[in-house]
Structure 1
Amino acid sequence: MKLGFLTACLPGESLDAIAGWAAGQGYAALEVAAWPADPGRPWEASHLDATTGDVLARHGLALSAVAYYENLLHHDLVLRDRIHDHLRRCVDQAAALGCPLVGTFIGRDITRTVAENLRLAEDLLPPLVAYASQRGVVFVVENCPMEGWHPDGYPANLAYSPELWRWLGGLGFFLNFDPSHLVWLGIDPVTALAGNLGLVKHVQAKDVQIDPAARNGYGIFGQLIDKPSPWTSGWWRYRIPGLGEVDWRRLVDVLYEGGYDGYVSVEHEDPVWSGTPERVRQGLVIAQRTLAPLIV
């Protein structure tokens, strides 16, 4: 296995600057963010271009995956078409770079029931899978509920549970396994990983901190009244690996035992180690010091 991180945590930095710093800190790979450049959405990173391969090679880094995590089932048909078009461009660029993985979400049409969404996905998504397969690329889906996409905070990415992993596997998708989401959903990430290793093609390393006393006041669906943001739960928050509840020693051991030899990519969404590029880098240093001794 090799340790890397997702470049989305440094949206204002160039890939060259990120790669130089990453190599100096002992990282071996980058999961390169590939959202469309949009000045109206400065939090989305756009680090993938024609120079990506040269930049990574110059710094001795591998490309673990191309990252474009969007809603493939969006209810706005015009926006959905744009998302699909950009995803195909990501596939083309990944293939040109010799990278077999593109990360995304399944998503959800929030105007439809889950059952209706499953049928919608079965109609809409196989052509995207076929497009990628023809170019030697597969999609790896992160198991984040994306509850902030739903007006009532319900899961809006139909890939958040082992039940749904088996379903998406039947459509030709694979898993970008992130244990942090499972913890707050009440799913043991070690057990879930051990039972689904055949679907795992990429791993994202993110931790989560739980406040059981606050959960007693809100329930698992989180804060509803006077909610400051769609992404506020009131009782849990994402953390850097090693600062939360995930048993990384056991998780990495299960990966090794199962024969996984791919990438573990830190996804930095820790609010404590955010706010400035310097704070983000400090968080990535903590993650590297936590995980590197486990990855040999």
Structure 2
Amino acid sequence: MKLGLLTASLPEESLTDLLRRAETVGFEALEVATWPPGSGAPSHLDVTHLTEGDTEWMRSHFARHDCTLSALAYYDNPLHPDPGERERVRRHLEACIDAAGRLGGAPVGTFIGRDPGKTVAENLAEAEEIFPPLVERAGEQGIRLMVENCPKQDWHPDGHPGNLAYAPELWERLFDLGLYLNYDPSHLLGLGIDPVAALRPYIDRVAHVQAKDAEVFPQRRCRYGYPGPVLDREGAGWWRYRAPGLGEVDWRSLVDALYEGGYDGVVSVELEDPIWTGTVENVQAGLEVAYRTLRPLVVA
């Protein structure tokens, strides 16, 4: 296994700066944000205009900093209710897949998404039409297309899961489509699911791991229940994301389960900690907290 980081926590930095920062801290891989430039989301690589010079630059600079490209990250809604938006997402996913093929075969991460106006069954039926061509395109280039298990409650008007890959029951349906999992244990704590127990049966379908923690507040849970706030959606819920080591995830048991199950990919820090974000200095400190937590477990 290798220890890496998702570049999205430092959207204003160049990929050159991020490679230097990763090497300075001790990270061995980058999960590179590839949202469309100008979309307002992080973009450290423009996959829609990737030239041969760009691919050669990536190879040489990653090698110079002894760093691996662990994944391309584009997390949007392929089941968006607006047909035009859905088509835009599909086209950009294709561009990410093609770029990953040219860059050596790193997996591509996305969401399954959801149309909140349709039932879960209706959404899954549409996913069965949308994803097989993408999986086939990826497979032709030796790419694994993977989905993250984030619930994305902010995509649903009532705060229900807006991304239908949030629990093992749904993972199994998605694996049948040829998809893999970018596993993030932090999302399971807010659903009452044990992250280690949920992981063990599916390690062979895990293409990548995102390391994010979550801190829970049981007294608030007694007010809202597991779904979280319904009326006061902008207020504090009963859990929040933290840097690895500052929440409830048992990282020792989780990494041990990965090793035992034969996982040999990257554990990539995704920093969304409200304490350790907001400024470059905060992010740097948060990355170092995560590194100190995980480095003794993920053997260099």
TM-score range, shorter chain: over 0.9
Which residue is 1:116 aligned to?
122
Read off the aligned partner of 1:23 and give its amino acid letter.
Answer: E
Partner of residue 145 from structure 2, selected from 139, 143, 146: 139
Read off the aligned partner of 1:174 and give its amino acid letter.
Answer: Y
1:148 and 2:154 matched: yes
1:57 and 2:63 matched: yes
Choose 240-249 or 95-104, whichever is displaced more.
95-104
Partner of residue 110 from structure 2, selected from 99, 104, 114: 104
Which residue is 1:214 aligned to?
220
In structure 1, how many angstroms separate the alpha carbons of the residues matched to 2:256 and 2:297?
8
The alignment partner of 1:112 has SS state of coil
Shift of 1:55: 2.8
The alignment partner of 2:182 has SS state of strand
Read off the aligned partner of 1:122 and give its amino acid letter.
Answer: E
Contact 1:64 1:99 in 2 (8 A): no
In structure 1, how many angstroms separate the alpha carbons of the residues matched to 2:66 and 2:256?
27
1:241 and 2:207 matched: no
Read off the aligned partner of 1:147 and give its amino acid letter.
Answer: Q
In structure 2, how many angstroms separate the alpha carbons of the residues matched to 1:55 and 1:154?
42
Read off the aligned partner of 2:255 and give its amino acid letter.
Answer: V
Which residue is 1:75 aligned to?
81
Read off the aligned partner of 2:133 and give its amino acid letter.
Answer: P
Could you tell me the percent identity over the aligned residues? 57
Unaligned runs of 5+ in 1: none
Deviations along 1:218-267, whole A, 9 cap, x unmatched? 11111222432xxx651100000000000000000001111111100011
Partner of residue 270 from structure 2, selected from 261, 267, 277: 267
Contact 2:144 2:207 in 1 (8 A): no
Read off the aligned partner of 2:265 and give its amino acid letter.
Answer: G
Contact 2:111 2:148 in 1 (8 A): yes
Shift of 1:60: 1.4
In structure 2, how many angstroms separate the alpha carbons of the residues matched to 1:261 and 1:85?
30
Read off the aligned partner of 1:67 and give its amino acid letter.
Answer: A
In structure 2, how many angstroms separate the alpha carbons of the residues matched to 1:234 and 1:99?
39
Deviations along 1:120-151, whole A, 9 cap, x unmatched? 11112111111111111111111000111111
Which residue is 2:256 aligned to?
253
In structure 2, how many angstroms separate the alpha carbons of the residues matched to 1:61 and 1:133?
24
Partner of residue 47 from structure 1, selected from 31, 44, 49: 44
In structure 2, how many angstroms separate the alpha carbons of the residues matched to 1:100 and 1:173?
14
The alignment partner of 2:112 has SS state of coil
In structure 1, how many angstroms separate the alpha carbons of the residues matched to 2:120 and 2:167?
13
Once superposed, what is the RMSD of the aligned Cα atoms? 1.1
Q: How does 1:82-97 map to 2 (within 5 A)?
A: 82-97=88-103
Unaligned runs of 5+ in 2: 47-53
Question: When the two structures are superposed, what TM-score results if normalisation uses the length of structure 2?
Answer: 0.94
Deviations along 1:14-54, whole A, 9 cap, x unmatched? 0100110110111000000000011x62xx11111424333
Which residue is 1:292 aligned to?
295
In structure 2, how many angstroms separate the alpha carbons of the residues matched to 1:110 and 1:56?
40
Which residue is 1:27 aligned to?
27
1:9 and 2:9 matched: yes
In structure 1, how many angstroms separate the alpha carbons of the residues matched to 2:283 and 2:58?
22
Contact 1:15 1:55 in 2 (8 A): no
Contact 1:208 1:238 in 2 (8 A): yes
In structure 1, how many angstroms separate the alpha carbons of the residues matched to 2:82 and 2:64?
41
In structure 1, how many angstroms separate the alpha carbons of the residues matched to 2:43 and 2:218?
37
Shift of 1:204: 0.6
Shift of 1:196: 1.1
In structure 2, how many angstroms separate the alpha carbons of the residues matched to 1:199 and 1:164?
13
1:279 and 2:282 matched: yes
In structure 2, how many angstroms separate the alpha carbons of the residues matched to 1:164 and 1:289?
33
Partner of residue 185 from structure 2, selected from 164, 179, 183: 179
The alignment partner of 1:196 has SS state of helix
